[in-house]
Structure 1
Amino acid sequence: MDIDFGNIKVVGFDADDTLWVNETYFREAEERFAELLEKFETKNKIDQELFKMEMKNLDTYGYGIKGFMLSMIESALELSNYTISQKTISSILTLGKEMIEKPVELLPGVKEVLSLLSNKYRLIVLTKGDLLDQERKLDKSGLSDYFHHVEVLSDKKESNYRNLLDHLEIQLNEFLMIGNSLKSDVLPIINMGAQAVHVPFHTTWAHEEATPEESVNKYLTLNELSEILKYLN
């Protein structure tokens, strides 16, 4: 496909699994959660029920670790037929707290890319999740100074993007979004008529997976973030 980013003035970055590691910690927590409940159900069943609970609770809790913690507790109660011990509930809470306290591990090339691009483009962060947690991670990342604006969205649908871009007075033909999720970072942007770059992460939450029919080749896919410098700098 022909790539022309000549009009781009503003570059938006997803945060989790685009700038730093995130999904890996959720997968690790799920493994430990299954171990805590192994006497009640098989690991596969526990994984399935936890995912169903997360989907059920999304509208109530939104995205992020705190909602994940509450979904784990609710799943544990149901899977154990409400016989789960207080000690195990406490262990589940500890799992979540440990996730919140994880160090921020930047992905390869992130600081170099932001340092170079910030000299030429207006950079913004467009992420979703828990506001407090995302602010904490950005602060710990040491990346704040590269960005003109940081927005934590409740979701990443076309309407969310349109409202934000309108508010920031960003023209569609001058905007480029970079992220790891086809469903949240790429396809809504393409559907709006703007441009997007997909940088896959090795682990993807099932809720963020796009079907092959949705994955139309109208965007650039890179193996790692540093490759964007061939096109933008």
Structure 2
Amino acid sequence: MPDTFVQRVPLGQTLLIDADDTLWENNIYFERAIVSFISLLNHHAYSPDEIRHHLNACERETIRQRGYGLKSFRQSLVNCFEQLSPEPVSQQTHEQISSFADAIATQEIELLPGVADTLSTLTTRHRIILVTKGDDWEQRDKLERSGLKPYFHEIEVLPEKHSEAYLTLRDRHCCEAASTWMIGNSPKSDVNPALEAGLNAIFIPHDNTWMLEHEELLPPPSSQAFLQLPAFPHLAHYF
């Protein structure tokens, strides 16, 4: 979808910025873990695509019960293995499955290109609030390790990102809808619900966005602004 404007907006906007796969790499590590998991399962009755489809269903159910985060992901792997494995799952296999999630927990934070410099510029012009979802401790730990925390005026870790959550967040931080922008890589969690809540939105696609975050982009209402940018540093051209 093309840019809707090309001139820089006034100073003093509120920028709500997503974290995973917007500021730093995240889903690529989960994808690597899933490849290892499918190899471990080595199922002869199901193709890798069929296993992945079943794992997606397990993840949806686990998230519904336990929320997002590595504990939920680990449980989804275990559930999927137990449901598809023709043999009982041994303690050793459980430990091996857990190691896939543990490897993600110790992964160094890899910032996406230009993120630190861009945030350094934006934080002098606008109010910046980190708005992510997941396990509160995990997300705050990643932010701390990223070195980006000083650029944010506020931090919000939500259990889910839907229109009601954005409305609550708007009220809690006294955001003016017309000057508030949600920025992220997920149509499902960042763009569409923010537009539904009356905010502006900026979509920055990522090649490895989690498939459970895929969703068709909604057309923005005429009273709201929408912008699609190829990379995070382009924000400095508009803000």
Please report the TM-score for the alignment, with normalisation by the length of structure 2: 0.91
1:228 Cα offset (Å): 1.0
Out of 141, 164, 177, which is 1:136 matched to? 141
- Give the letter aligned to residue 142 of structure 1: G
Q: Which moved more, 1:37-46 or 1:50-59?
A: 37-46
Q: State how far apart, in whole Å, the 2-side matches of 1:100 and 1:144 are.
A: 19
Contact 1:8–1:176 at 8 Å: present in 2 too?
no
Q: State how far apart, in whole Å, the 1-side matches of 2:68 and 2:43 are.
A: 29
Give me the identity figure in percent.
34
Contact 2:164–2:197 at 8 Å: present in 1 too?
no
Specify the alignment match of 1:99 in structure 2. 104
Q: What SS class does the counterpart of residue 182 from structure 2 fall into?
A: strand
Q: State how far apart, in whole Å, the 2-side matches of 1:173 and 1:26 are.
A: 36
Q: State how far apart, in whole Å, the 2-side matches of 1:9 and 1:44 are.
A: 44
- Say whether residues 1:171 and 2:188 are aligned partners: no
Q: What SS class does the counterpart of residue 59 from structure 1 fall into?
A: helix
Contact 2:28–2:208 at 8 Å: present in 1 too?
yes
Instruction: Count matched residues.
Output: 230
Q: What SS class does the counterpart of residue 155 from structure 2 fall into?
A: strand
Contact 2:27–2:208 at 8 Å: present in 1 too?
yes
Q: State how far apart, in whole Å, the 2-side matches of 1:130 and 1:198 are.
A: 23
Specify the alignment match of 2:118 in structure 1. 113
Contact 1:3–1:220 at 8 Å: present in 2 too?
no
Out of 55, 58, 62, which is 1:53 matched to? 58
Q: State how far apart, in whole Å, the 2-side matches of 1:117 and 1:78 are.
A: 48
Out of 199, 216, 227, which is 2:234 matched to? 227
- Say whether residues 1:28 and 2:32 are aligned partners: yes
Specify the alignment match of 1:12 in structure 2. 16
* Residue ranges of structure 2 left out of the alignment (5+ in a row): none
Q: What SS class does the counterpart of residue 35 from structure 1 fall into?
A: helix
Q: State how far apart, in whole Å, the 1-side matches of 2:6 and 2:73 are.
A: 38
- Give the letter aligned to residue 219 of structure 2: V
Q: What SS class does the counterpart of residue 88 from structure 2 fall into?
A: coil
Specify the alignment match of 1:216 in structure 2. 219
Specify the alignment match of 1:203 in structure 2. 208
Q: Which moved more, 1:134-143 or 1:77-86?
A: 77-86
- Give the letter aligned to residue 26 of structure 1: F
Q: State how far apart, in whole Å, the 2-side matches of 1:7 and 1:193 are.
A: 20
Q: Which moved more, 1:42-51 or 1:128-137?
A: 42-51
Q: Which moved more, 1:92-101 or 1:1-10?
A: 1-10
CA-to-partner distance for each residue in 1:176-200, whole Å, 9 max, x for gaps?
Answer: 1110011111111122222111100
* Residue ranges of structure 1 left out of the alignment (5+ in a row): none
- Say whether residues 1:80 and 2:85 are aligned partners: yes
Contact 1:8–1:175 at 8 Å: present in 2 too?
no
- Give the letter aligned to residue 196 of structure 1: A
- In the superposition, relative to structure 1, how do residues 126 and 198 fare at CA in structure 2: closer, same or farther (>3 Å)? same
Structure 1 residues 62-81: aligned runs within 5 Å: 62-81=67-86
- Say whether residues 1:182 and 2:187 are aligned partners: yes
Contact 2:12–2:125 at 8 Å: present in 1 too?
no
CA-to-partner distance for each residue in 1:200-225, whole Å, 9 max, x for gaps?
Answer: 011122211113xx442662111101
Q: State how far apart, in whole Å, the 1-side matches of 2:12 and 2:21 are.
A: 23
The 4+ residue runs of structure 1 with deviation greater than 6 A are: none
Q: What SS class does the counterpart of residue 12 from structure 1 fall into?
A: strand
Q: Which moved more, 1:157-166 or 1:217-226?
A: 217-226
Q: State how far apart, in whole Å, the 2-side matches of 1:210 and 1:45 are.
A: 21
Alignment root-mean-square deviation, CA: 1.6
